[in-house]
Amino acid sequence: MGTDLLLPVVVLFAVLVAGVYLVQVFDGIVASALSGIPARDHWLAPLRRGAWLWLQQDITTEHPDALNWRLAPMVYFTLAALGMAVIPWAGQVVAADLSTGIVLWGSVEALATVVIFLHGWSANAVFPLLGAYRYVALGLSYILISMFVLIGVALPAESLKITYVVLSQQELWNVVRQPLGLPLFLIVGLGIAFWGPLNFADSADLAGGTAAEVSGPHRLLWTVARSAMLVAFSAVAAATFLGGWLGPWLPGLVWMVLKMLLVLAALLLLGRVLARPAPERFLTFAWVVLLPLAFLDLVWAGLEAL
């Protein structure tokens, strides 16, 4: 058990660390491409900002819930790492091949709601609390849609194990077999990681939302945790829709990482080009349009599997 866990765990941590760094780099590249303002150095900028945050004072508000406030970014990062643990990087390289990997992802999303609420509420300030409220108000919508889409993906695999889901895509990738699935899943990803258009928790109209009263290493950890969740989500999307490690010529691990980076780049681009809708409007859209589409996707997947 020891040695065949070593490689997956090493891969997991390497992908997490490199992924978090690449999220910041890609985001910077997308930002300067869209705004037309060239940044000084895309590759060093995240490290410089990280150094600045590391050295900054970790200032507090009046009587925050200090334990939960500090714990929230750590738990959020742990949830992202837990989610990545069930993802296979190559045929046998998976840290925890849980027979209910897909349900674990549902739990990760549900627990993430708790953690983000705690991060907002613990600050004992107005804007973080409003950010927390807004995230929780929409959290159920994302979880429902993601569960329907993932069940659709599990149907051809006849299993909830993500390894089997990847293996079931040997003839045809799920992005082609269930065309509604990946777009819906990307929207869910933006929501769960509260990024870009669905960033209701840390949004600009709340002066940074749950991160408004946060500084120093705490803020660094929160940024790292958010990026880790994006990376984890991209990895799941790559494994369940883009065929995971399957592909010619290159080794499986390289394919998996490339597909993950592709989904990550798509999420980061969408994050910078779409405006944030009003929460009520998005709620209506999610329950009136996206949920029926998720049902349709499930029915389509069922018919296909028959």
Partner 1 sequence: MSWLQRMAGEAPVPVYVARGIDASHDDLAALALDANIELVATPRHAAVLLVVGTVPAKFHDGLRRLHDQMPRPATTLWYRSRPLPEFDAPHTLSKTDRLAPTLTDLYRTLYGRTPQPVLLPDRPPAPWRGLGDYGQGGEGMMGGTPYGRPMAMTDDDLRDGLQLDALGFTLGPFFGPWAPGLLMHMSLQGDVVQRVSVQSPPFPQAPPTVFGAALRGAVPIADLELARARSHLFGLAHSLETAGLRSLALRTLAHAARLRPGVDIGLMRGWLRRCGLFASVPPGCGQLTRTQAIRIGGTAARAAGQPMDARLEDPAYRRLGFSVIVQDAGDCRARWRQWLGEIEQSLALADRAAGENVYTDQTEVVETPRGRWRRGAGIADASAVLEELLPGMEWSEAMATIASLDVAAGEPGEGGEP
Partner 2 sequence: MTVADAVFYILAVIAIVSGWRVFRTDSMVRASFLLLLSFIAVGAIMLLLGAEYLGIALFFMMAVEMMVMALFMVMFMMNPAGLNPMNMVHQPRVAIGAGVAVFLVLAAVALFAQFPRNSAPSALDPVRSLGRELLGDSMLIFESAGVALLATMIGVVVLSGAGGRFGASDVGSRPPGLTPDAAPAGPPEQEEAASGGGHHGH
**Residues interacting with partner 2, by CB under 8 A?**
63, 65, 68, 98-100, 103-104, 106-107, 110-111, 113-114, 117-118, 121, 124, 133, 136, 139-140, 143-144, 159-160, 280, 283-284, 287
> 175-204: which residues touch partner 1 (CB under 8 A)?
196-197, 199-200, 203-204
Question: Is position 216 an interface residue for partner 1 (rule: CB under 8 A)?
Answer: yes
Contacts of residue 217, Cβ cutoff 8 Å, sequence gap at least 6: 53, 54, 56, 58
Considering just the CA atoms, what is the radius of gyration of the chain in Å? 19
**Closer Cβ to partner 1, 63 or 288, answer by number:** 63
Question: Is position 279 an interface residue for partner 1 (rule: CB under 8 A)?
Answer: yes
Q: Give the span between the Cα atoms of 196 and 141, in whole angstroms.
A: 17
Q: Give the span between the Cα atoms of 169 and 154, in whole angstroms.
A: 11
> 66-125: which residues touch partner 1 (CB under 8 A)?
none
With 0-12 / 13-18 / 19 or more C-beta atoms within 10 angstroms meaning exposed / middle / buried, residue 30 is middle
Q: What is the secondary structure of 177-207 as a DSSP string?
A: HSTTHHHHHHHHHHHHTT-GGG--SS-GGGT
Question: Is position 166 an interface residue for partner 1 (rule: CB under 8 A)?
Answer: no
Question: Is position 1 an interface residue for partner 1 (rule: CB under 8 A)?
Answer: no
Torsion of CA 11, 13, 16, 18, to 10 degrees: -80
What does 56 bind: partner 1, partner 2, none (CB cut-off 5 to 8 Å by kind)? partner 1
> Quick one: which of 6, 9, 14, 59 contacts partner 1 (CB under 8 A)?
59
> Quick one: which of 20, 24, 76, 134 contacts partner 1 (CB under 8 A)?
134
- Give the nearest distance from C-beta 221 to partner 1 in angstroms: 15
Residue 81 in contact with residue 16, Cβ under 8 Å?
yes
The footprint of partner 1 (CB under 8 A) covers: 30-32, 34-40, 44-45, 47-49, 51-52, 54-59, 62-63, 126-127, 129-130, 133-134, 137, 196-197, 199-200, 203-208, 212-216, 219, 272-281
